[in-house]
């Protein structure tokens, strides 16, 4: 579907690919559209909803400036998926042991590995880049309890919230492994540090902003290059985290299913990040907060909730969306509201047929707390085409 709603209340238009958007998200998008450096317009994806700092599901093109809070604190958060040579008939009737094996292999929540689980070359490469950042901004390490241990031993870990690992079946009953995670504690610290630094740098001008969270760095300013360096490091860390997590999962699965091969190349894509791209004749810093790149022919992943379908998609390179699409279903209910409204019986009912935790610790991730993934997909047929439809049979939640 084309753009459903256009809002012209600010300096640039806001083009929204859904009619299902709350007033808080509209206000937040309008605040961003008031900024003087926004290029052309702002695009809001079909899963758009109110976020912290900036709207989730927004695509923000900026000339010579970046808003750290728009990138957020889960820098580089994104998806990884690959298809195996296994099919549904190869899986056991009960998948509980498979779920427990994955949970035993991959720490979740705030947990980390007891020792480093990734190749030394990966650690050395990341360490070199991080040292250069921390030399200029030592307060970053002070914000971590055990800095050198935390970031290295959190590589190949899941995290909490809506992060997950799933085993899925596609429309041909082929088995996929799919996961969702980001830059963990170190990315969170880098995000919070530079968000606060931007506010301090703009102390004399911050009252002129529509909202304090929209404090920004401009090219040539004192900390602009440092932020660009740090945010790209965190994005690289997130890619490595997903890649190494997938490697450990496959090693564990090979002990149960020793003869499978990978039959579809891994898709590893960010959905909270900033990149330099050209749109409408100008090179810009493009921030995707809860959106993925959907260039013509580019593969991406759009997951549903823990009881719904997910999609492997191919981008159509739609210019109006800045070659972007949604990153998932998008929340329609806050975590606290979901906990008040639903109980464990609701979780059991809505995740029927999925081997997953069904305790009170995952009530906030219940499928009904999210928008309909079918409606979200119907609203972005101009942006992507579906290549594979996946349905989870195992779900490990953070």
Q: What does the DSSP 8-state code read for residue 37?
A: T
Contact yes or no for 33/6 (Cβ under 8 A):
no
Cα–Cα distance measured from residue 264 to residue 269, given in angstroms and rounded to the nearest whole number? 15
Strands 14-16 vs 42-49: parallel, antiparallel or unpaired: parallel
Largest CA distance in the chain: 65
In the annotation, is 279 catalytic? no
Residue of 48, 3, 52, 51 whose CA lies nearest to 376:
48
Cα–Cα distance measured from residue 58 to residue 287, given in angstroms and rounded to the nearest whole number? 8
Residue whose token pair is 């059991």: 348
Cα–Cα distance measured from residue 41 to residue 322, given in angstroms and rounded to the nearest whole number? 10
Q: Which of 49, 137, 327, 388 is catalytic?
A: 327
Cα–Cα distance measured from residue 30 to residue 32, given in angstroms and rounded to the nearest whole number? 5
Cα–Cα distance measured from residue 330 to residue 376, given in angstroms and rounded to the nearest whole number? 9
Tell me if residue 139 falls in helix, strand or coil.
Answer: helix
Contact yes or no for 279/40 (Cβ under 8 A):
yes
Residue of 398, 181, 393, 179 whose CA lies nearest to 307:
393
Report, as residue numbers or ranges, the catalytic residues: 327
């Amino acid at each position: 579907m084309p753009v459903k709603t256009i809002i012209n209340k600010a300096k640039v238009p806001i083009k929204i690919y859904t009619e299902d958007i709350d007033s808080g998200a509209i206000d937040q998008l309008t605040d961003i559209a008031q900024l003087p450096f926004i290029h052309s317009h702002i695009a809001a994806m079909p899963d758009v909803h109110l976020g912290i700092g900036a709207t989730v599901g927004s695509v923000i093109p900026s000339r010579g400036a970046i808003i750290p809070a728009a990138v957020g604190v889960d820098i580089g958060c994104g998806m990884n998926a690959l298809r195996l040579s296994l099919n549904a008939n190869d899986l056991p009737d009960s998948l509980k042991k498979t779920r427990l094996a994955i949970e035993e292999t991959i720490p979740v929540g705030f947990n980390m590995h007891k020792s480093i689980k990734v190749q030394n070359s990966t650690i050395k490469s990341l360490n070199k880049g991080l040292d250069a950042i921390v030399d200029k901004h030592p307060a970053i390490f002070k914000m971590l309890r055990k800095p050198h241990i935390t970031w290295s031993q959190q590589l190949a870990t899941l995290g909490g919230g809506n992060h997950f690992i799933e085993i899925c079946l596609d429309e041909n009953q082929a088995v996929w492994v799919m996961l969702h995670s980001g830059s963990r504690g170190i990315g969170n610290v880098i995000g919070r540090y530079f968000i606060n630094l931007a506010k301090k740098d703009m102390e004399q001008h911050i009252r002129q902003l529509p909202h304090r969270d929209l404090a920004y760095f401009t090219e040539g300013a004192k900390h602009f290059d440092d932020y660009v360096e740090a945010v790209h490091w965190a994005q690289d860390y997130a890619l490595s985290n997903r890649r190494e997590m997938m490697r450990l999962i496959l090693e564990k699965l090979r002990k149960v299913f020793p003869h499978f091969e990978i039959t579809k190349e891994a898709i590893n894509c960010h959905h909270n990040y900033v990149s330099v791209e050209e749109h409408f004749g100008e090179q810009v810093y493009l921030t995707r907060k809860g959106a993925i790149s959907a260039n013509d022919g580019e593969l991406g992943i759009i997951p549903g909730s823990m009881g719904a379908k997910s999609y492997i998609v191919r981008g159509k390179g739609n210019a109006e969306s800045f070659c972007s699409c949604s990153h998932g279903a998008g929340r329609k209910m806050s975590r606290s509201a979901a906990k008040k409204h639903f109980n464990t019986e609701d979780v059991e009912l809505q995740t029927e047929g999925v081997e997953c935790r069904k305790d009170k610790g995952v009530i906030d991730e219940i499928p009904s707390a999210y928008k309909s993934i079918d409606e979200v997909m119907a609203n972005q047929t101009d942006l992507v085409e579906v290549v594979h439809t996946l349905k989870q049979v195992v779900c490990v939640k953070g």
